[in-house]
Structure 1
Amino acid sequence: MDTRTLQQLLAAAGYYAGGLDGDFGPKTFAAMLAVEAKHADGYTFDPTTTTEARRHTACAQACLEELGHAPGTIDGWVGANTTEALNAFLFQTINGKPEEIERAPLPNAPRVSSIPSQSEVDRVYGTPGAQIKSRLTMIELPFKLRIDYNLRQSTNKITVHRDCAPQLEKALIEVRDHYGAEAMRDLGIDRYAGTYNHRKMRGGSKWSMHAYGCAIDFHHGPNGLRTPCPQALFCGPDYKAFLDIMEANEWLPAIRLWGKDAMHFQRATL
């Protein structure tokens, strides 16, 4: 997180009134301390005991949260949620209005009668917030996935809606059986980028499928929200089996639903 951008966020959130000069001086430091004091309960770590870069990123995440851009957990790591929250902030700052991202269905988009459409998820999965949280469950895989925003960490535990968990667990085990650990790592398929997140859709006003616990992301960088085929990594031939397995288990690839956001899979049709 560069200092000038951090100063922009601090100023927008009302903590900083100095110049946007990229100089991390006393005023910027004081503003960061004020953010840390206000959001102490929201930080997942002690910001005074980490690197300067991680501390600045966490401060930016706290500001983005205040400004309504849903950066995810205040953990100091730059993942997909933090990146897209910052994109949303910068777009609105420059253009004076929120970004709108079109998700028009492709003519051959998958249609699966056994799962709800996005317009039906409230009725089928529940209402985002307390009701969805009460219906979440944890999958424990027999192998680990690397955390996309911090590849030194890994997990075999994934939290999703209880009505989506069996299909996701089966799909991921089949993906592992098909590719094997080494190929999954080489291809980046094992880079887990998140599931449940109580937030609105990026570039839209409706609830994200992540807020229902029926979405999962992998390998954000080359498969981003605005990246179409053939530029997205997951559009390559080596990834066809991955997409096929996920789709066969009712977890539909966004790249096959609306032609972008290849990192994203959801158990809902358009």
Structure 2
Amino acid sequence: MTDEQKFILWLEGRLTAHGFTPGAIDGVFDDTAKAALTAFQRARGISPSGKADVETVAALRLSSSRVSPADRDDIPDRDRPGAADARGGPWPLQRDCTKIFGDPQTQVPDRLVMVRMPWDCRAAWNPALRITRLRLHEKVADSAERCLDRASRTFDSDARHRLGLDLSGGSYAKRRMRGGSSWSMHAYGIAIDWDPQRNALRTHAPEARLSHDDARRWWEIWEDEGWVSLGRARDFDWMHVQAARI
């Protein structure tokens, strides 16, 4: 692998961590990757050149887990272990994820697989970018595929659009928890986000779109497989579902 390919892989990984997925992380700087980089630059107030200049690289190096002081005061302490989830189920507690899924730095990347999306889905930051697959840990992939298949049979295209299930906020991303220093569940490849604009980190019920009654069956499909909605459990981050107990 050339130095240029290594840099592009890093660039794609950092864009994904910051919420601007370039599609496949493959070391190819194509039009989709350039569009993601340009969108990132605009969001950070950088001249949208579509080039990885010094200012852009410096911004990409910044932590993708930082949140504003207002957000920090309005969400649970992300580094404080929660009470043991009495429901049990197939998935570990958050604090035990490294034991089960591997180290996010050295082991998880080799254990990721692709899970197909059974309906038309687009990147939330760029509706022109079609998301056909999600990158998830091999241990949760079959479960996620069952949930998605059930959801595709339960909700027609109009219902999925109303709920925002056709807008992907991302799956695997090697980053820390927003507002914390522990690894995000995304870094293990065991979490998926949906429609982040209407279900932002500190948007609570009933403002969060996926907190509405018509989304209940959506969450029950995941919960039947042991997945956890942070919105349903803690009333924040309603975009998020994870294969780990709190």
Q: TM-score, normalised by structure 1?
A: 0.67
Per-residue CA deviation, residues 208-235 of structure 1 (Å, 9 max, x unaligned), is 0000011000000111111111221111
**Relative contact order, CA 8 A, sep 6+: which one is greater?**
2
Alignment partner of 1:228 is 2:204: yes
Provide the alpha-carbon RMSD of the alignment. Answer: 3.3
Q: Which amino acid aligns with 1:264?
A: H
Give the secondary structure class of the aligned counterpart of 1:129.
coil
- Provide the C-alpha distance between the structure 1 equivalents of 2:139 and 2:242, rounded to a whole number of angstroms: 12
- 8 Å contact from structure 1 (residues 110, 252) kept in 2: no
Q: CA deviation at 1:50?
A: 6.9
Q: How far is 1:54 from its partner?
A: 3.8
Residue in 2 aligned with 1:160?
A: 136
How far apart are 1:142 and its partner, in Å?
A: 3.5
SS at match of 1:164: helix
State the shift of 1:131 in Å.
0.1
Q: Deviations over 1:111-155 (max 9, x none)?
A: 333210001101111111220001111112343312111112212
Matched, 1:63 2:58: yes
Tell me, in whole angstroms, the C-alpha distance in 2 between the residues paired with 1:51 and 1:159.
Answer: 18
Q: Give the residue type in structure 2 aligned to 1:62.
A: V
SS in structure 2 at match of 1:130:
coil
1:192 pairs with 134, 145, 168, which one? 168
Matched-pair contact (CA < 8 Å) for 2:171–2:192 = yes
Aligned equivalents of 1:215 and 1:171: distance in 2? 13
**Partner AA of 2:142 in structure 1:** P
**Structure 1: how far apart are the matches of 2:82 and 2:207?**
17
Question: What does residue 241 of structure 1 align with?
Answer: 217
1:196–1:213 contact (8 Å) kept in structure 2: yes
Between the aligned residues of both structures, percent identity stands at: 28
Larger of the two Rg values belongs to structure: 1
Matches within 5 A, 1:1-270: 41=8, 42=11, 44=29, 54=39, 56-57=41-42, 59=46, 62-67=57-62, 69-70=63-64, 88=67, 91=68, 99=72, 101-103=75-77, 111-270=87-246
CA 1:110 to 1:243, structure 2 compared with 1: closer, same or farther past 3 Å?
A: farther
Say which is worse superposed, 192-201 or 112-121, in terms of deviation.
Answer: 112-121
C-alpha change, 1:268 and 1:234, in structure 2 (3 Å) is same
**1:63 partner amino acid:** A
Q: Could you give the per-residue CA deviations for residues 145-177 of structure 1, whole angstroms, max 9, x where no partner exists? A: 121111122122111000010111110111110
Q: What is the aligned length?
A: 209
Q: Distance in 1 between matches of 2:37 and 2:94?
A: 41
Distance in 1 separating the partners of 2:216 and 2:207: 15
Gaps of 5+ in 1: 1-38, 71-83
Please say if residues 106 and 256 of structure 1, whose CA atoms lie closer than 8 Å, have aligned partners that are also in contact.
Answer: no
Shift of 1:250: 2.1
Q: Structure 1: which amino acid aligns with 2:179?
A: G
Shift of 1:45: 5.0
Unaligned runs of 5+ in 2: 1-5, 13-28, 47-54
The alignment's TM-score, normalised by the length of structure 2, stands at 0.73
SS at match of 2:120: strand
